Amino acid sequence: MIRINIIGAGRLGKTLAALARRSGRYRVQDVMTRGADSAAAACAFIGTGRPVTAWAELAAADLYLLAVPDAAIADCALRLAETEVPAGAVVFHASGVSGSELLRPAAARGAHVGSLHPAFSFADPAIALEGFSDVLCALEGDAEACLVLRELAQAIGGRPFQLAEGGKPAYHAALSVASNYLVTLTAIARRLAGQGGVPEALLTPLLGGLMRQTLDNALALGPQAALTGPIARGDASTVALHLQAMDDADLRAAYQALGRQTVALAGERLSGQARRQVLSALAPAEGSGS
Ligand SMILES: NC(=O)c1ccc[n+]([C@@H]2O[C@H](COP(=O)([O-])OP(=O)(O)OC[C@H]3O[C@@H](n4cnc5c(N)ncnc54)[C@H](OP(=O)(O)O)[C@@H]3O)[C@@H](O)[C@H]2O)c1
pLDDT at 287: 72
| 100 ligand 1 Cβ < 6 A | no
Atom 48 in ligand 1: which residue has the minimum CA distance? 12
d(CA 54, CA 145): 25
Closest alpha carbon to 14 in 35, 39, 34: 39
Query: How big is the chain by its Cα radius of gyration, in Å?
Result: 25
Contacts (Cβ under 8 Å, ≥6 apart) of 139:
114, 115, 116, 146, 149, 150, 153, 160, 161, 162, 163
Could you give the residue range(s) of every CATH 3.40.50.720 domain in the chain?
2-163
Query: Pairing relation of β-strands 90-93 and 135-141?
Result: unpaired
**Closest atom, ligand 1, to C-alpha of 15:** 16
pLDDT at 282: 97
pLDDT at 30: 98
Query: 179: burial class by Cβ within 10 Å (0-12, 13-18, 19+)?
Result: exposed
| 51 ligand 1 Cβ < 6 A | no
| 11 ligand 1 Cβ < 6 A | yes
Tens of each residue's pLDDT in the chain, 290 residues: 999 999 999 999 999 999 999 999 999 999 999 999 999 999 999 999 999 999 999 999 999 999 999 999 999 999 999 998 999 999 999 999 999 999 999 999 999 999 999 999 999 999 999 999 999 999 999 999 999 999 999 999 999 999 999 999 999 999 999 999 999 999 999 999 999 999 999 999 999 999 999 999 999 999 999 999 999 999 999 999 999 999 999 999 999 999 999 999 999 999 999 999 999 999 987 776 55
**Closest atom, ligand 1, to C-alpha of 12:** 16
| 94 ligand 1 Cβ < 6 A | yes
How far is the centre of ligand 1, averaged over its atoms, from the C-alpha of 94 (Å)?
9
How far is the centre of ligand 1, averaged over its atoms, from the C-alpha of 261 (Å)?
36
CATH number corresponding to 2-163: 3.40.50.720
How far is the centre of ligand 1, averaged over its atoms, from the C-alpha of 7 (Å)?
9
How far is the centre of ligand 1, averaged over its atoms, from the C-alpha of 265 (Å)?
39
How far is the centre of ligand 1, averaged over its atoms, from the C-alpha of 31 (Å)?
12
How far is the centre of ligand 1, averaged over its atoms, from the C-alpha of 279 (Å)?
45
Phi, psi of 67 (to 5 degrees): -100, 45
3-state SS class at 133? coil
Q: Are 164 and 31 in contact (CB under 8 A)?
A: no
| Beta partners for residue 26, in sequence order | 2
**Closest atom, ligand 1, to C-alpha of 34:** 41
How far is the centre of ligand 1, averaged over its atoms, from the C-alpha of 175 (Å)?
20
Phi, psi of 24 (to 5 degrees): 80, 0
| 7 ligand 1 Cβ < 6 A | yes
Q: Are 94 and 16 in contact (CB under 8 A)?
A: yes
Q: Are 112 and 147 in contact (CB under 8 A)?
A: no
pLDDT at 285: 79
